[in-house]
Chains A and B, each alone.
Chain A
Amino acid sequence: MIILYSIGILGILALIYGLGLAFASKKFHVEIDPKIEKINEILPGVNCGACGHPGCLAYAEVIVGKNEEINKCAPGGDEVIQKIAEIMGIEASSAEKKIAVIHCQSGGFNNTFFRYKYHGIATCKAAILVSDGPNLCNFGCVYQHDCIEACKFDAIHLDENGMRIIDKEKCTGCGACVTACPRNLIELVSIKKRVHVLCSSHDKGAVSRKVCGNETACIACTLCVKKCPKEAIEMKDNLAVIIYDKCINCGQCADVCPTNAIFDPLKEVRAKKKAAAKAKADAAKKELEEKKEEETEKEETSKENKEKNNS
């Protein structure tokens, strides 16, 4: 009997509550804009915060509710922007893709000078607390891996020398590594800009040259500042800084840099292009000369023929 009562009472209670809740959910139904749900589905869902909102759903809400710019999703890229534009019925103004650039070439096994061997907690933040970090350069990479840990897209990895390499394809420009690096070595730069000053040392030239294990410190010689045709390089506290808005990727600064602190990935491409252009010009010249020779030969033969005819 008790079993029956138990089942009956709990069943009836549950039924009453269920019906009550069903009624309440109808009565207190909140209309949610279907656009928000659609946009939330399109967004990558990594909740990286690059757009400046706490998570993808929050971003979707402000797009619909407060007409927020739709080009702020860094991980999504152009594809996502186009899709959101379709839903919202507005023109897409595509965001310039930015990727992370590490402004230091030191920090590997072979190219770092160490003050002491660090055996503490394996994060950069902890390492730089111990007498300014294990590496001699007070501004350089400390050879722990906070940036790699911070990257949600597996876009930073180590090469055989223990150097951090940023994968251009995978990097979405979310900026997680920028905030993770305690030495502020990483910056988000438009993917179109290829020439970078890969040093962050504000030491004087003589000092930075000595402490840099890679021997690629900026020694503040100002050669690049003088060479730049667009005045796109500035000296800030003994460090050359490229003003990316003005930079045209010409690579002349990299050519004059005595320490190779300025890196120009297009150097080889440019050299090849130059060589090709030169070869082309040479070939054209040769052809011209050959033609001329042929013509003179023809003329000569025709002259000879004429002379023969005349005679």
Chain B
Amino acid sequence: MEFVAKIFAMAIAAIFVQNFVLMRFLGLCPYIGVSKKLDSALGMGMAVIFVMTMASTFTWLIQTFLLVPLKIEFLQTIAFILTIASLVQLVEMIIQKTAPALYKALGVFLPLITTNCAVLGVAILNINEKYSFIEAILNGFFAGLGFTLVLLLMAGIRERLDRAELPSSMRGMPIAMIVAGCMALAFLGFSGLKI
């Protein structure tokens, strides 16, 4: 029971309280870049959830069974990036094969997950928080979930903004920036949550 409670608290923390995009300000590039359409935002979110979960799994294993025993923890960043890059390549191939339309919609942002700091961020946080293997995987999954949630919210708002009557100088990016700021403020409200 205690474990379930801990997992629940972790989920709330990863999705709302310590949301990667709006509270930690990681992964802002796809947050602005792929949030124009709901469909592609959903696809991007799924890809990020997959990559984050896989990255958490592999990086935890590498850290625990390779880097720590051999006392070469200083290679953490480079080894993690190598892992993430390979995973992203794999995801790219799978998506290209199974969902060409999604592959086109994501465009350049799919390979850019490689350099998405949120993925590297979750991998390093798992180690710093001294999570167990299961916890690390779940944390990666929840972090991806939080990212997807924010991306979907943003995409929904921006789809409506496209049809809204705005002053022409505010159209497109400027209003997106303001919306992003408002969303960050709203998510700041979750920081009072303690479980």
Partners in one complex: yes
Among B78, B86, B93, B96, point to the contact of A17 (Cβ < 8 A): B86
Whether the Cβ atoms of B97 and A28 lie closer than 8 Å is yes
Contact residues of B with A, CB < 8 Å?
62, 66-67, 70-72, 75, 78-79, 82-83, 86, 89-90, 93-94, 96-97, 100
CB distance from A2 to the nearest CB of B (A): 6
- Besides A5-B70, A10-B75, A28-B97, 11 more A-B contacts (Cβ < 8 Å) are A2-B72, A6-B75, A9-B67, A10-B78, A10-B79, A13-B79, A13-B83, A21-B89, A24-B89, A24-B93, A30-B100
CB distance from B78 to the nearest CB of A (A): 7
Whether the Cβ atoms of A9 and B93 lie closer than 8 Å is no
CB distance from A206 to the nearest CB of B (A): 36
Residues on A with C-beta less than 8 A from B66 are 9, 13
Mask, A1-18, CB within 8 Å of B = 1, is: 010011001100110010
Near B by CB (< 8 A), chain A positions 14-41 give 14, 17, 20-21, 24-25, 28-30
Name 16 A/B residue pairs within 8 A (Cβ), A-sorted.
Answer: A5-B70, A5-B72, A6-B72, A6-B75, A9-B66, A9-B75, A10-B75, A10-B82, A21-B89, A21-B90, A24-B93, A24-B94, A28-B93, A29-B97, A30-B96, A30-B97
Whether the Cβ atoms of B90 and A20 lie closer than 8 Å is yes
Nearest neighbor of A29 in chain B, beta-carbon distance? B97
Whether the Cβ atoms of A9 and B72 lie closer than 8 Å is yes
CB distance from A120 to the nearest CB of B (A): 15
A-B contact count (CB 8 A): 46
Residues on B with C-beta less than 8 A from A28 are 93-94, 96-97
Whether the Cβ atoms of B82 and A14 lie closer than 8 Å is yes
Nearest neighbor of B74 in chain A, beta-carbon distance? A6
CB distance from B165 to the nearest CB of A (A): 19
Whether the Cβ atoms of A21 and B86 lie closer than 8 Å is yes
Residues on A with C-beta less than 8 A from B78 are 10
Mask, A155-187, CB within 8 Å of B = 1, is: 000000000000000000000000000000000
Residues on A with C-beta less than 8 A from B67 are 9
Among B70, B75, B90, point to the contact of A24 (Cβ < 8 A): B90
Nearest neighbor of A2 in chain B, beta-carbon distance? B72
Q: How far is the CA of A20 from the CA of B86 in the complex (A)?
A: 9
Q: How far is the CA of A6 from the CA of B82 in the complex (A)?
A: 14
Do A25 and B62 form a contact, CB below 8 Å, given A13-B83, A17-B86? Answer: no
CB distance from B147 to the nearest CB of A (A): 24
Q: How far is the CA of A21 from the CA of B89 in the complex (A)?
A: 7
Residues on B with C-beta less than 8 A from A9 are 66-67, 70, 72, 75, 79
CB distance from A17 to the nearest CB of B (A): 4
Residues on A with C-beta less than 8 A from B70 are 2, 5, 9
Q: How far is the CA of A17 from the CA of B85 in the complex (A)?
A: 9
Q: How far is the CA of A2 from the CA of B72 in the complex (A)?
A: 7
Q: How far is the CA of A20 from the CA of B72 in the complex (A)?
A: 24
Among B82, B94, B97, point to the contact of A13 (Cβ < 8 A): B82
Residues on A with C-beta less than 8 A from B97 are 28-30
Mask, A224-259, CB within 8 Å of B = 1, is: 000000000000000000000000000000000000
Q: How far is the CA of A30 from the CA of B92 in the complex (A)?
A: 12
